[in-house]
Amino acid sequence: MNYRTLGLSGLRVSAVGLGCMGMSHAYGAPADKREMTGLLADAVEMGYNFFDTAEAYGTPLNPHDNEELLGKALKPFRDRIVIATKFGISFDKPDEPGTHAVIPCSRPDVIRRSVEGSLRRLQTDRIDLYFQHRIDPDIQPEEVAEVMANLIREGKILHWGISETTEEYLRRAHSVCPVTAIQNRYSMMARQYEQLFPVLEELGVGFVAFSPLANGLLTTYYTADSRFDFATDYRASMPQFRKESFEQNNALFALLDRLSEEHHATPAQISLAWMLCKRPWIVPIPGTRHLCRLKENIGAADIILTMEEVQKIDEELDNMKMSEVFGGSPVKKNV
């Protein structure tokens, strides 16, 4: 595994991290705990040291399932790994099927309760990277950043970040307590946050890319006949998995196939290598429940695309017809 540093923070993480949400949330019923414990141990032995979770990743019966899983499974490796978790959202109508609207809340007292709960569930005395899961429009970024500064002084968190941030929010928060990384949606199908690259470069902030494979579509494993459980799997309502979307994405699949053949790689590896080769401070966190995918994803760090190749890919993507892609759950105002 290759390693890289998130911005100027000094936080060294594996070039490809492991997004753990799908083990417990949004991708069908939670996976078998014993199997996932073994998979997490395998990941550490392969060289993964960056594991991403959140207090909100779970089920109606066990809302914090994912943190509990990681806390127990990763405890033997605690001093060898970096754990990122998140605070600041709850789900609207979590018992209903399909995707759920999220309700942001970043009041200082809520953050305090959240960090204590996460520390307990993760069975650790510190959180390496603590993300604000979504911006709360009712709380100023300076107020959130001041809470983070206090938590860092207390040693409860070591670094902090913001998920799905805007430039203004990032700048204001960073001026109070330096932000180590943002965590935004980014893939060949969702490139809107490339506009933040100059700001991240200026401030020395890393970019943790979630959904780097467009929720699995860019693996090219799925077809128009793939079906998902509407009650437990968000992909059942994601636009890129509609039957007609596969035909709309034929050019994208053809590009991935061509690049895969040229570089003796898989489409997923090409998708990850494309962003890894853009900037040294970008770290994708694809999720999986399968050992073969874990090995496949880690291999992306060994694929080198030249800047000329990356620019050519970008030009093709810019001029390519694609389907709509899932852009995230709607955000509802906290009342």
Q: What counts of helices (H) and strands (E) characterise the chain?
A: 11, 12
Q: Are 47 and 14 in contact (CB under 8 A)?
A: yes
Q: Which of 3, 27, 48, 57 is catalytic?
A: 57
CA distance 128 to 139: 24
CA 148, 154, 157: angle at the middle one, nearest 5? 50
Strand 89-91 with 102-104, pairing: antiparallel
φ, ψ (nearest 5 deg) of residue 209: -95, 115
Q: What stretch of H or E contains 50? A: strand 50-52
Sign of the Cα torsion 183, 160, 204, 286 reads: negative
What is d(CA 293, CA 298) in angstroms, rounded to the nearest whole number? 8
Distance between CA atoms of residues 212 and 187, nearest Å: 5
Task: Give the 3-state secondary structure of residue 246.
Answer: helix
Active site residue 57: yes
Residues with a known catalytic role: 57
